[in-house]
Amino acid sequence: MFAPRVALASLSGESDAEWAEACARPAGAAFLGGIAVDGPTREAAREMVDRDREEFLPADPVAFVDDQLAALDDAFLRAGVNVRAVELDALRAVAEVCAAHDAILEVNAHCRQDEMCAAGAGESLLRDTERLCEQVEAAGDAGAPVSVKVRAEVEGVHLPTLAKALERAGADAVHVDAMDSRRVVRDVAEAADLFVVANNGVRDREDVFEYLAYGADAVSVGRPSRDPEAVQSVYAAVKEWFL
């Protein structure tokens, strides 16, 4: 999926091409976004901005994604785009752009903001396996490699079972925000033959080794991505593990 096996996880309103390029050398992938790409999710993002959240709200989200990915075409890392969507046509349009740039389309089933969940996107998709799998299939049919960003500790959601469904739908990877339940990464890795990216609290060698011992194929950093030295430290631990 990417190497080195360190990814930069999307940060709301911050993760653009410039952000990715700042850590391009030690990271193997960077997920831009999240990008709201259709009417319902863009309206949700506007409401979130009204309460002082940072969000990407370009006039044309598909053109924005195309421009951002073009800026990374010659970068060392592989780009990905974290997408918040309800409407499949909008998702397909972005997936086609991702495919043209050999970028990963990451379906956002992770955002827990009330507005985005009310719109039917983000974390709400974890409780609606059929719709989530429809998004995976739509993105895959458009030719993009597909990751799904998920969150642990959501009541009524069993991530290993969900991972099996995502695999059947054609997903290539699952990006797991483990919250305070790191062993869920092991359960997901054992349940499905997906490329597993472990996220949450990846700060040092101990964190990296724990996640990789649970069967993760890669790790991702969120807020520490603002610090190239922190990303370099995570990269060094990943490199040591795979030697």
User: Tens digits of per-residue pLDDT, 144-186?
Assistant: 999 999 999 999 999 999 999 999 999 999 999 999 999 999 9
Position 99 confidence tier, pLDDT thresholds 50, 70, 90: very high
pLDDT beyond 90 at 223 = no
Amino acid residing at 136: V
H or E element, residue 50: helix 39-50
Q: Which of 47, 19, 225 is nearest to 84 (CA)?
A: 47
Helix, strand, coil share of the chain (percent; to 5):
45, 20, 35
Which pair of structure tokens corresponds to residue 196? 């597993």
H or E element, residue 221: strand 218-221
Q: How far apart are alpha carbons 58 and 175 in whole angstroms?
A: 25
pLDDT beyond 80 at 24 = no
Position 94 confidence tier, pLDDT thresholds 50, 70, 90: very high
**Confidence at residue 228, expressed as pLDDT on a 0 to 100 scale:** 85
Would you give the DSSP letter of residue 164? H
Q: What is the mean pLDDT of residues 31-38?
A: 97
